[in-house]
Amino acid sequence: MRIPSLTHATTLYILAGQVAHAAIELNLDDDESIKQAAGRAAFDMLQYYTGNETGDVPGNLPDPYYWWECGAMFDSLINYWYYTSDTTYNSLVTQGLLHQAGTSSDFMPTNQSKTLGNDDQAFWGMAAMTAAETGFPDPPSPSPGWLALAQAVFNTQKPRWDETSCGGGLRWQIFPFNVGYNYKNSISNGCYFNLAARLALYSGNQTYADEAGKVWDWMWSVGLIKHDTYHIVDGAHNTDNCTGMDGNTWTYNSGVFLLGTAAMYNYTNGSEVWRERTDRLIEAGKKFFINDVMYEGCEASGKCNVDQRSFKAYYTRWLAATAELVPHTHDNIITEFRASAIAAVKTCTAGSTGTACGLKWTEGVNDGSLGVGEQMAVMEIIQSNLVDKAPGWRSEVKGTGTSKGDANAGLTAPGDEERLVGDVTTTADRVGAGILTALVLIGVLGGSAVLCISE
């Protein structure tokens, strides 16, 4: 028996009076089956998104999802189009990306700017970069092209490189009053590295490559990349000059650096240095697989938060691109994709549609954890099996990149400090300004209080 509204990927079985849903059907040797299965996961993911409804804000997911995750979801949907050629979600993606690019076209929209981390902004920037690389239709003029939006994120982050502690690095947060301003984390530095490397590959401009090299060298010198294992730990605090570390390892930190090294390997026409880094990161990533099925460390304790439940989506996405850019890694990665996709779809038996996916692919059944992150990760692992059929990344260097760029994008936008002052001096924000000033004061006083006590 079939549910009419569902695609043929879902079959409802009636077993001894009990209703049980089959998992999403997936035959990895049949491209149509892969596309159908990815489409099913996409459909269930979009149930959470209301930003395209009249009166709602494009590019936002409802609570409990943070702003950045919607940018990450759009990146997944651009990939969905790239791998399957299904254009169903393209206009929704374009609408959301352009709305959240904000008035300064650099993914620092006023509604978010005061709580914005470098990683949050960069997840949107990387989505724009993917759009340029895959040839996702550029928005109509006068909107800036996808490439220009990615360049704007790069250009606004570049001056935030901070040498007042730890010998360099990007801080997690942009503004001093945010918790996390004193944290230099791998994801913020990794996103900047990833974007720089991809801009180098796309444009052939050595300035981006130099920046990518600088970030890698810093990560290495400060020890956020472990010299023996190439595991990438979460971050370090500039309050102790980055000597103590949060030693957690996450799939997305490994992945965000992996694609950066892969892009640099390809950009340098296969240099030994970047080959070694790419290979060592692939090897280090083996810790995230059991029998080639991907898992996140937090799954063991059952305590993955909303953000963490989406990380496998990014690791998968960046592994797939690595398989494209670094041919000798391909077979190894595909083996992992096949095993992981087969395991992942077995979790897609829940929710009102009967095909909502779970978190723990290694368990082979739905574990009750449902949401945007779970859907996104399963969608990416399914569709990445089409990587060999994809049209291939475009670039200006190859003459196939057509996205409109602007090397100076973001440079004429207000700087971070001006932006803050500008934001809080508009009439509507007077109240906010008061709160802000108070917060900064508390920060300063709080800091001195700690100093007094410790003296």
Ligand X SMILES: *[C@@H]1O[C@H](CO)[C@@H](O)[C@H](O)[C@H]1NC(C)=O
**Closest distance to ligand X from the beta carbon of 102 (Å):** 6
Please say whether the beta carbons of 319 and 336 come within 8 A. Answer: yes
392 makes contact with ligand X (CB under 6 A): yes
* Residues binding ligand X: number (CB under 6 A): 30
**Closest distance to ligand X from the beta carbon of 411 (Å):** 8
DSSP string, 376-420: HHHHHHHHGGGGGGS-----TTTT-------TTTTSSSPPHHHHH
Q: Smaller CB distance to ligand X: residue 95 or 369?
A: 95
Dihedral over alpha carbons 12, 16, 18, 24 (to 10 degrees)? -30
Q: Smaller CB distance to ligand X: residue 88 or 143?
A: 88
Q: How far apart are CA 455 and CA 449, in angstroms?
A: 10
205 makes contact with ligand X (CB under 6 A): yes
28, 46, 245, 440: residue in contact with ligand X (rule CB under 6 A): 46
Q: How far is CA 341 from CA 20, 32, 161, 369, 384, in A?
A: 21, 15, 39, 17, 9
15, 18, 53, 399: residue in contact with ligand X (rule CB under 6 A): 53
Stretch that binds ligand X, among 1-9, 84-92, 381-389, 447-455 (CB under 6 A): 84-92
213 makes contact with ligand X (CB under 6 A): no
Enter the tokens of residue 169. 């690095």
Q: Smaller CB distance to ligand X: residue 253 or 278?
A: 278
Q: How far apart are CA 86 and CA 104, in angstroms?
A: 31
Please say whether the beta carbons of 54 and 95 come within 8 A. Answer: no
Which residue is associated with the tokens 């549609």? 353
Q: How far apart are CA 143 and CA 206, in angstroms?
A: 27
**Closest distance to ligand X from the beta carbon of 320 (Å):** 12
7, 11, 52, 353: residue in contact with ligand X (rule CB under 6 A): 52
Q: How far apart are CA 439 and CA 433, in angstroms?
A: 10
- Binding to ligand X, residues 86-145 (CB under 6 A): 88-89, 92, 99-100, 102, 109, 111
**Closest distance to ligand X from the beta carbon of 268 (Å):** 5
Instruction: List residues near ligand X by CB under 6 A.
Output: 46, 52-53, 57, 88-89, 92, 99-100, 102, 109, 111, 166-167, 205, 207, 222, 241, 266-270, 324-327, 392-393, 407
